[in-house]
Amino acid sequence: MKEAILYSKLNKGVRCDLCARRCVINEGESGFCRVRKLKDGVLYTTVYGLIDAMAADPIEKKPLFHFAPGSSPFSISTSSCNFRCQFCLNYHSSQRETPVGQRLEPADIVKLARQYDCSGISYTYTEPTIFMELAHDTARIAHKQGMYNTFVTNGYMTPEAVDYISPYLDAATVDFKGSGNKSFYEKYMGVPKVEPIFNALTRLKEKGVFIEITNLIIPQVGDMEEDTKILAEWVVDNLGSRIPFHLTAFSPMYKMTHLPRTSASALERHIRVAKAAGLTFVYSGNVAGHDFENTYCPSCGTMAVERWSVYLKKNNLSKNGRCPNCDEDLNIAGVKWMGHGDRRRKIF
């Protein structure tokens, strides 16, 4: 175990200041995430260097469509999460009571990333906030070696956590479910409030982290067009109209296998809503072969990037990441890491 960062000592126990839950943890107990434990008055992280999943993924899988397109990050995670989503795709890892995994130090992770010819590292699969110490130490080494770092996060972190990781964080995919509807988060995810996610987003922007938004549309319980409209309008007003916005399809999973898969037509309805709210780059997700997977120039209509599912098929961008036809700025970041092919190698 390694001593945790961002906690405050109280008269009895401590308060964890990493996740927006700010759990008060007594001696011998763990926080809601199960992996931050108080022992002899010291808060420890029990997952430092305990990697339960790793793979060389396409950046498009995160999904990051406008950051270093065509590149390949080395993706890692640890066990557990600070949410209890009833539809989690990675529930076998995120909902573990006891963490498992392979012991790897930050330097080992960066070495593996280089071995698999990856341009960066993505902290993903489960919530990276709960393994923040490992992510921070790994990201710092990766930066020194000219690699990028990205988070795939639920955004439920404190301002202190954003400040801690942001010097080494290049991009973040912030995942909404059910368009951020408060009642949905309470009932199906065990999350008491959604405001910290929006606060974290504005702070990430202030710190210069490149942001993309995903929004999982779940039939019958999390598919209100009005909620998507509200979320999209907030993004336009607070993050900008050219923030990439992904509307992704739900697949029956975990405790919600009784619901149908999200149809392409349902996604298209929400895409129209998001575009009407003022967003320029709106994408579909988990619907392979859908035309809304591609990036088109909003000025001249040229297809700048062609994709198939989570793989890049063709990168037509100019060398500086702009429209190849009219030189329009398409809000592409991480250009120095940009690639032109898809990489499907995985390790276990």
- Of the chain, the percentage scoring pLDDT greater than 90 comes to 96
Together in a domain, 310 and 180: yes
Q: Which amino acid makes up residue 236?
A: V
Asked if pLDDT for residue 344 goes beyond 80, the answer is no
- The CATH number given to whatever domain includes residue 138 is 3.20.20.70
The pLDDT of residue 328: 98
11 and 155 inside one domain: no
Q: What is the pLDDT of residue 291?
A: 86
- The sheet with strand 7-9 has its strands ordered as 7-9, 14-16, 24-25
Q: Are 248 and 263 in contact (CB under 8 A)?
A: no
- The answer on pLDDT for 254 being more than 80 is yes
Q: Report the percent of the chain where pLDDT is more than 70.
A: 97
- 186 in a structural domain: yes
Q: State the average pLDDT over residues 181-208.
A: 98
Predicted confidence at residue 341, as pLDDT, reads 53
| Residue 10 structure tokens | 């109280």
CA dist 42 and 100 (Å) reads 22
**Based on the domain organization, do 95 and 176 belong to the same domain?**
yes
Instruction: Kindly write down the DSSP assignment for every residue of 167-195, as one continuous string.
Output: GG--EEEEEEEGGG-HHHHHHHH--S-SH
- Report the C-alpha gap between 131 and 98 in whole angstroms: 14
Q: Contact, 92 vs 99, CB < 8 A?
A: no
| Same domain? 22 vs 153 | no
Question: Mean pLDDT across the stretch 29-56?
Answer: 97
DSSP 269: H
What's the DSSP call for residue 218? B
What is the count of structural domains for the chain?
A: 2
> What does the pLDDT average to over 56-65?
97
- Tell me the per-residue pLDDT of 20-38, one tens digit each, with 9 for 90 and over: 999 999 999 999 999 999 9
Gap between the Cα atoms of 286 and 219, Å rounded: 14
Q: Name 281's Cβ contacts closer than 8 Å, sequence gap at least 6.
A: 65, 66, 242, 243, 244, 245, 295, 298, 330, 331
Over the chain, what is the mean pLDDT? 96
Please, which pLDDT band fits residue 95 given cuts at 50, 70 and 90?
A: very high
Domain containing 277: what range?
Answer: 50-337
**Taking 90 as the threshold, does the pLDDT of residue 346 lie above it?**
no
Query: 287-343 pLDDT, tens per residue?
Result: 998 889 999 999 999 999 999 999 999 999 999 999 999 999 999 999 999 986 544
Nearest-angstrom CA–CA distance, 34 and 41: 17
Same domain (yes/no): 25, 54: no
30 shares its domain with 124: no
- Please indicate, yes or no, whether residues 30 and 141 belong to a single structural domain of this protein: no
Q: Is the pLDDT of residue 347 over 90?
A: no
Give 115's contacts (C-beta < 8 A, 6+ positions apart): none
In this structure, the answer to whether residues 39 and 162 fall within a common structural domain is no
- Please, are residues 8 and 15 in contact by the beta-carbon 8 Å criterion? yes
Q: Say if 282 falls within a structural domain.
A: yes
Condensed to tens digits (0 to 9), the pLDDT of residues 260-288 reads: 999 999 999 999 999 999 999 999 999 99
Answer yes or no: is 84 within a domain: yes
pLDDT at 340: 67
How much is the CA Rg of the chain, to the nearest whole Å? 20
Identify which of 224, 47, 242, 55 has the alpha carbon closest to the alpha carbon of residue 135.
Answer: 47
Does one domain contain both 308 and 214?
A: yes
pLDDT of residue 1: 85
